[in-house]
C-alpha cells in the first residue's frame, strides 16, 4: 500500500514570496490534515479536511495561508506572502473516517515525510 506522498521535500524562498506544497493521501482515506512543525515544537494542526470539506481551520493564518482539497483526494497548501516565522516542516497526514468501508476510524494518522520550508 502506498503511503502519503508529499512534495517538494525542501524549499527555500525569500520572505514575501509564495510557495505551494502538495499532498496525496493514502487511497481511500477520507480525512486529510496539514500540520506545521516548527523546530523544537510538536505538530500544530493548520487545517483538517473531511473529503473535500473543511472541518477545522481554526489555527490557519487565513491572511496568508490557504488550502484546498479538490475532489476529496490530493491537497495543496499555499503560503502567500511568506514570513520568516513560516520556516517549518509542513506535514501532511491522512486517516480513516468512522464508518468508512465498514471500519471505524480511530484518529490514527499516517504521515508523509514532510516538506521543509526555509524562509530567508
Partner 1 sequence: AQSVTQLDSQVPVFEEAPVELRCNYSSSVSVYLFWYVQYPNQGLQLLLKYLSGSTLVKGINGFEAEFNKSQTSFHLRKPSVHISDTAEYFCAVSDQRGYQKVTFGIGTKLQVIP
Contact footprint for partner 1 (CB under 8 A): 4, 31, 33, 35, 40-45, 48, 50, 55-56, 91, 93, 95, 97-98, 105-114
Residue 47 or 79: the one with the smaller Cβ distance to partner 1 is 47
Quote the least distance from Cβ 19 to partner 1, whole Å. Answer: 19
Burial 105-120 (b: 16+ CB within 10 A, else e): eeeebbebebbbbebe
Residue 77 or 112: the one with the smaller Cβ distance to partner 1 is 112
Torsion sign across C-alpha atoms 101, 103, 107, 110? negative
Residue 8 or 98: the one with the smaller Cβ distance to partner 1 is 98
Residue 103: DSSP 8-state: B
Quote the least distance from Cβ 109 to partner 1, whole Å. Answer: 6
Question: Three cell numbers at 12?
Answer: 527555500
Q: Rounded distance, CA 92 to CA 59, Å?
A: 15
Quote the least distance from Cβ 97 to partner 1, whole Å. Answer: 8
On whether the CB atoms of residues 95 and 109 are closer than 8 A, the answer is yes
Residue 3 or 18: the one with the smaller Cβ distance to partner 1 is 3
Amino acid at each position: 500500500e502506498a503511503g502519503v506522498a508529499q512534495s517538494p521535500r525542501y524549499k527555500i524562498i525569500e520572505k514575501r514570496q509564495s510557495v505551494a506544497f502538495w499532498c496525496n493521501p493514502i487511497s481511500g482515506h477520507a480525512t486529510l490534515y496539514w500540520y506545521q512543525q516548527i523546530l523544537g515544537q510538536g505538530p500544530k494542526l493548520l487545517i483538517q479536511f473531511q473529503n473535500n470539506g473543511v472541518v477545522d481551520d481554526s489555527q490557519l493564518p487565513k491572511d496568508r495561508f490557504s488550502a484546498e482539497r479538490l475532489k476529496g483526494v490530493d491537497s495543496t497548501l499555499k503560503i502567500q506572502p511568506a514570513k520568516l516565522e513560516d520556516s517549518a516542516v509542513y506535514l501532511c497526514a491522512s486517516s480513516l473516517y468512522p464508518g468508512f468501508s465498514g471500519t471505524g476510524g480511530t484518529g490514527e494518522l499516517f504521515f508523509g515525510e514532510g516538506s521543509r520550508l526555509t524562509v530567508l
